[in-house]
Amino acid sequence: MLHRDRIPRLWVFLQAVLVVALGFSDMALGFSDMETGPGGAGVSVQQPNGDRFKIEGRAVVPGVKTQDWVSSARIFVEGEEFVGFVRTDGSFAVNDVPSGSYVVEVITPNYRFEPVRVDITSKGKMRARLVNYIKTSEVIRQPYPLQIRANGPQTYFMKRETWGWTDFLMNPMVMMMVLPLLIIVLLPKVVNTNDPEMRKEMEQSMNMLNPNPELPDVSELMTKLFSGGSKPSSKAITSKGTRPAVKRR
Amino acid sequence: MAKLIWLCLNFVILCSTAGAVFEDQVGKFDWRQQYVGKVIFSNFDAQSQSSKKVIVATENNVFASLNIRTGELFWRHVDAIGPEGKIDALLHHGQDALLVVGDGRLLRSWEINIGGLNWEIVLDSGSFQSACLIGQQDIVKHVAVLKKTAISLHYLSNGHQKWIENLPESETVDYQSVYSGGNGEVYVLGIVPHSHIAIVVYSLDDGEIIRQFSVEAPWLSNIQASCAVIGEGMLTCADSATVSLYMLDLESQTEMSQIPLQSLGLEVTPGFQPVLRSTQPNAARPPLSEFFLQVGPEQHLLLQLNDGQIVTLRDFNPALLVSFATTGEKTIAAVMSPKNTTACTVNLFSAETGRRLLDTTLIFPLDPNGGKPEELYVQAFLKKDDSVGYRVMVQTEDHTLTFIQQPGRVMWTREEALSDVVTMEMVDLPLTGTQAELEGEFGKKADGLFSMVLKRLSSQLILLQAWISHLWKLFYDARKPRSQVKNEVTIENLSRDEFNLQKMMVMVTASGKLFGIDSKTGTIVWRHYLDNIPANAAFKLMVQRTTAHFPHPPQCTLLIKDKDTGLATLHVFNPIFGKKSHVTPPAMPQPILQSLMLPVMDQDYAKVLLLVDDQYKVSAFPSTKNVLQQLQEIASTIFFYLVDSSQGRLSGYRLRTDLSTELIWEVVVPTEVQKIVSVKGKRPNEHVHSQGRVMGDRSVLYKYLNPNLLAVVTESTDTHPERSFMGILLIDGVTGRIIHEAVQRKAKGPVHIVHSENWVVYEYWSTKSRRNEFSVIELYEGTELYNSTVFSSLDRPHAPQVLQQSYIFPSSISTMEATLTEKGITSRHLLIGLPSGGILSLPKMFLDPRRPEIVTEQSREENLIPYAPELLIRSEWFINYNQTVTRVRGIYTAPSGLESTCLVVAYGLDIYQTRVYPSKQFDVLKDDYDYMLISSVLLALFFATMISKRLAEVKLLNRAWR
């Protein structure tokens, strides 16, 4: 009982250590971000009376006329915070955006666009880069004004499993059934079983195939394990239960 | 390498477990309804006679085009929520529609045929006052936008600014209106309240001030409300104090002439502010000299200005609504007047003469469960014989749009109240009469063997009869062509299906209109408008009695609370028929703090609703003797909590037997530092099937399943990105014990949270990394359960183990909910509404704090996915494919009769209903189940055995002969 009580406490302690460590690494990351960011663009502070800027670009769906998709398209800057619309020629502009760093997305129900991160300095300098949520400071430049090209229609649907003869025949289960059948039918015709020498050879090979009688059976192992686990009062089991927990940490 | 293979394998497994839609399932059990909201501006596309468009701009910052034949959307543009996207004005010219958006911040021009943006320009700052189209020599080329301090003129073709001028004396003069009669001059009308009108006339060409003068008008306070320009530049104002019209010729700049209404033989209803309504069919020409004057709530006059004299053309009394419409060169006046209690009539009159046009009566049916007509939009068109035909769109108080053709055919109605659903419930449909009969058989007391046999036989006969009639109907329908077979959904033929997949959706909207919608087809079965709902009401909908207690009717209770005063009223109704119940709800003179539904039922199987008022006194509804007695017995086990977010106080109370309360615990969150944002308990109808999780070493990790657990989210008052934080508290609602507390630094809201089973999932914005993050907390009792039979908050000595993990989510989210099934066996998914309109079904196994960083044998056996910091959004996981739900505000989940199936309704601007199968359809045959294959295999096997049997017999016979 005492033994088990101590474990959660240890757990919490370890977790705390982990959190602290993580916090440190995060902090380090944050600082490096600040250094690489272009002149304060890394911070999305909304200045109350600061200048407002315009994010411009063009969205293209290859092979589709713009008038077929622009009426259902919107431009989202940082979620729904700033909304823009697409002109009939595919270009767009989002007005009144304060300086900061934003993810710009083209939202259409039918086509897939990659989001782009746009950094705006307090002086209004713009920079576009790939969105990377894990390494937030990584800069892979993208053209600005934005050129966003759809990479194909959205695939919302799963394919149905279709049934064909080839699928059926190539199924491993079917193969496993058919091959032995073939062997059973064909082998006696090929090999003369009445030959005593041959028979001896076959018996030997059969013995080879037979599993080692001393090796424990998998199913047996399972039943042992389960019957053992169901005994609640056994002390050995509890220690068994906690040991992996210790290891996990 | 092995790890890589394992990852791949896992991926394959996950793909197969996660729910997805197959292409052939589109529209099979899901539907979407799109709305626009309450219309504020509307214009019929009048550029050609065959046009079938009406463009609308709404309170919800939506600009859309509707098909007038069907009422469906051609296209719709949804702008940002709030004042940034507010539509201030809609002007329509030819193929283009001009919108002034965001208090005069943006001017947009839309191409209305395809719904694309022509251009958008940013206007100078300043609050918007008015806008109008400016024409010259019959061509409209410009638009004028009047701001508080400046007026600017823009070209219609590209939005470029022609000129901008500051208004003189804008500190003292309140400029309100802009007008142009098409003569190259732009009039700006301003007012110094209770002193004088200031008029500035600009030249259209270069923006120079041509004239500037002021006229005494000490009685006038608002130009837009009480004035209109009529005829050749005659500014006309109505004043209720002196009961007269004032007129001013804008060109000759003389004094205002007063025309007492009495001299025209008119009277004004005392206390009514007369309203003027003029029409300017073409922006390049002056307005018509005919205008409407409303002198009472139900009295309108058609007047004409003739050589400076006002002539009464016609007196409409009673008339609810009036409107002008122009087609070609003809202008007509449409007048709606009440006919009887169930209908109104609309008649057309010639604007020039006031004569009634023949055969133009149109009947508008009044919905007894709807609101009064509020606005009349008229589309006039010329028929082949040069007479005027028309259609009307009527907007009523409950935000319904009804489109009517002569002589009274309702083409379509749009229930725009549904664009603002506040809360909803799903109620099981009742059994059919025959089914209820059968059920009743078991309920009755046995009379004896013989009568019971008789009863059984008779009910079986009834069943047989129902089945035969069903067969007959099938046969009958099969002979008819498919297009003619209409499955009209009415209350009569609504009944519960085998798996309880069809339910009644009871939706409460912000306007106070209630709807009953069939979940299978989306048909509105009933509607009920509650008038006198306060503007900022909060609603809570509760199901007091389900349909399971035949013959008692089901009963829903809606608590309507005025947020300012705290006073509440109850509306009790039948959720299947929408009718108000005859049960009289109690009067509640005190503000209500909290309401709670007890599992206790009265003798009529209605669950008891407890209401706590601001004196901490509790009242019960229904409050029969039976209920009070039951309450006294169990009072000591009833606990409730109150949240006061303004003072940051969370307090727990216990009920006493005399229905007073006592404070048991109190948690105070200091309001200077942080504020309580949301408090979430668990859903009462949630079932948890498995008590624990089997781990890799075959031991069981038991879940901490505390039904009284509350998750409290706090946000820091400091919003600076370096210092802001959010906190989460897990509090036991009975004892007030804090189970867990966590603070997330450099994080801010909005926080979305789901609390279920033994886990809490929340999402927040990380200000440091500028990304959205998910965090999951799971609570476990450990490997041994303290008391496995019953959970008591008062007797749980051990604190639970708390596991937590966080992930990056590559999108912001709008709302979040967890799936819910009948018995809780099916694995859970999180349904996440994204701003893009997609509804993502994310398996809960991705949000599992036990996801290991290093894969071990045991974690593999437990089917734990290795930890990855980023959660992926796969487009196959969108349960609503391309049927996006714009501005999704809530997701409602309900269990169905099938364990595998969860019913989902997402609501926002649109409503979307579907089913999800978090663990696939394990309890019914799949849609694509190949009946052909299985039957052909069976048949083949059957014949094979027959043949081989025959062959074997022949062989045996042959052998015997040998």
Predicted confidence at residue B488, as pLDDT, reads 60
Choose among A12, A29, A86: nearest Cβ to B117: A86
Q: Are residues A119 and A195 in the same domain?
A: no
Predicted confidence at residue A221, as pLDDT, reads 67
Predicted confidence at residue B957, as pLDDT, reads 93
| % of chain A with per-residue pLDDT over 90 | 5
Predicted confidence at residue A242, as pLDDT, reads 39
In this model, does residue A33 exceed pLDDT 70? Answer: no
A37 in a structural domain: no
Q: Are residues A87 and A140 in the same domain?
A: yes
Sign for the pseudo-dihedral over CA of B6, B10, B11, B12: positive
Range from A195-209, A227-241, B716-730 carrying the lowest mean pLDDT: A227-241
A113 in a structural domain: yes
Q: What is the CATH number of the domain that holds A67?
A: 2.60.40.1120
B875 with A155: Cβ contact below 8 A = yes
**Which chain B residues are Cβ-neighbours of A105 within 8 angstroms?**
836
In this model, does residue B514 exceed pLDDT 90? Answer: yes
Kindly report, residue by residue over A81-103, the tens digit of the pLDDT.
Answer: 889 999 888 899 998 888 888 99
More confident residue, B51 or B261: B261
A36 in a structural domain: no
Question: Where does the pLDDT of residue B907 fall: very low under 50, low under 70, confident under 90, or very high at 90 and above?
Answer: very high
pLDDT, mean of residues B548-576: 87
Predicted confidence at residue B49, as pLDDT, reads 63
Q: Are residues A71 and A136 in the same domain?
A: yes
Q: Are residues A179 and A137 in the same domain?
A: no
pLDDT, mean of residues B477-505: 71
**Which chain B residues are Cβ-neighbours of A134 within 8 angstroms?**
808, 869-870
Task: List the one residue out of B680, B672, B620, B673 whose CA is nearest residue B650.
Answer: B680
Choose among B116, B697, B930: nearest Cβ to A244: B697
Predicted confidence at residue B486, as pLDDT, reads 52
In this model, does residue B671 exceed pLDDT 70? Answer: yes
Residues whose CB falls within 8 Å of the CB of residue B290, separated by 6 or more in sequence, listed in order:
B278, B279, B302, B303, B304, B305, B313, B331, B333, B351, B352
Kindly report, residue by residue over A97-124, the tens digit of the pLDDT.
Answer: 888 889 999 989 889 899 999 999 888 8
In this model, does residue A220 exceed pLDDT 90? Answer: no
In this model, does residue B890 exceed pLDDT 90? Answer: yes
**Which chain A residues are Cβ-neighbours of B928 within 8 angstroms?**
160-161
- The residue range of the domain holding A179 is 165-238
Predicted confidence at residue A22, as pLDDT, reads 33
Question: Where does the pLDDT of residue B684 fall: very low under 50, low under 70, confident under 90, or very high at 90 and above?
Answer: confident
Predicted confidence at residue B509, as pLDDT, reads 93
Predicted confidence at residue B112, as pLDDT, reads 87
Q: How far is the C-alpha of B577 from the C-alpha of B579, rounded, in Å?
A: 5
Beta-sheet strands, E only, within B546-669: 555-562, 568-573, 592-601, 607-613, 618-621, 639-644, 649-655, 661-668
Q: Are residues A63 and A146 in the same domain?
A: yes
Question: Where does the pLDDT of residue B385 fall: very low under 50, low under 70, confident under 90, or very high at 90 and above?
Answer: confident
pLDDT, mean of residues B843-857: 89
A4 in a structural domain: no
B875 with A95: Cβ contact below 8 A = no
Q: Are residues A138 and A189 in the same domain?
A: no
Residues whose CB falls within 8 Å of the CB of residue A86, separated by 6 or more in sequence, listed in order:
A59, A66, A70, A73, A74, A75, A92, A106, B116, B117
Q: Are residues A71 and A143 in the same domain?
A: yes
Domain's final residue, options A126, A153, A180: A153
Predicted confidence at residue A49, as pLDDT, reads 45
Choose among A66, A95, A136: nearest Cβ to B771: A136
**Which chain B residues are Cβ-neighbours of A70 within 8 angstroms?**
114-117
Q: pLDDT averaged over chain B?
A: 86
- pTM for the whole thing? 0.83
A96 in a structural domain: yes
Q: Are residues A60 and A142 in the same domain?
A: yes
pLDDT, mean of residues B323-335: 87
Can you list the alpha helix ranges (DSSP code H) found in chain A?
Answer: 2-36, 66-69, 165-170, 172-190, 196-209, 218-230, 235-248
pLDDT, mean of residues A46-64: 76
Predicted confidence at residue B478, as pLDDT, reads 72
Range from A44-53, B323-332, B496-505, B804-813 carrying the lowest mean pLDDT: A44-53
Predicted confidence at residue A241, as pLDDT, reads 39
Tokens for B904? 């989902």
Kindly report, residue by residue over A139-157, the tens digit of the pLDDT.
Answer: 888 888 888 888 888 888 8
Question: Where does the pLDDT of residue B339 fall: very low under 50, low under 70, confident under 90, or very high at 90 and above?
Answer: confident
pLDDT, mean of residues A18-26: 33
B84 with A96: Cβ contact below 8 A = yes
Q: Are residues A179 and A139 in the same domain?
A: no
A47 in a structural domain: no
pLDDT, mean of residues B397-416: 89
Which of A75, A158, A225 should one mutate to test binding to chain B, selecting the residue with the greatest count of B CBs within 10 A? A158
Kindly report, residue by residue over B159-206, the tens digit of the pLDDT.
Answer: 888 889 888 888 888 888 888 888 888 888 888 888 888 888 888 888
Task: List the one residue out of B540, B439, B556 whose CA is nearest residue B504.
Answer: B556
Predicted confidence at residue B491, as pLDDT, reads 63
In this model, does residue B327 exceed pLDDT 90? Answer: no
Kindly report, residue by residue over A226-245, the tens digit of the pLDDT.
Answer: 665 444 444 443 344 334 44
Q: Are residues A93 and A131 in the same domain?
A: yes
Can you list the alpha helix ranges (DSSP code H) found in B255-299?
Answer: none
| % of chain B with per-residue pLDDT over 90 | 25
Q: Are residues A136 and A58 in the same domain?
A: yes
DSSP per residue, B340-394: SSSEEEEEEEETTT-PBPTT--EEEEPPTTS--EEEEEEEEEE-TTS-EEEEEEE
Q: How many CB pairs under 8 A join A and B?
A: 153
Kindly report, residue by residue over B144-156, the tens digit of the pLDDT.
Answer: 999 888 899 999 8
Question: Where does the pLDDT of residue A193 fall: very low under 50, low under 70, confident under 90, or very high at 90 and above?
Answer: low
A134 with B808: Cβ contact below 8 A = yes
Predicted confidence at residue B929, as pLDDT, reads 78
Domain's final residue, options A153, A173, A190: A153
Predicted confidence at residue B250, as pLDDT, reads 82
Q: How many domains does chain A have?
A: 2
pLDDT, mean of residues B457-483: 79
Domain's final residue, options A100, A122, A153: A153
A98 in a structural domain: yes
Predicted confidence at residue A25, as pLDDT, reads 33
Burial of B304 (0-12, 13-18, 19+ CB in 10 A): buried
In this model, does residue B27 exceed pLDDT 70? Answer: yes
Choose among B80, B117, B812: nearest Cβ to A82: B80
A22 in a structural domain: no
Q: Are residues A77 and A101 in the same domain?
A: yes
Predicted confidence at residue B438, as pLDDT, reads 67
pLDDT, mean of residues B930-947: 92
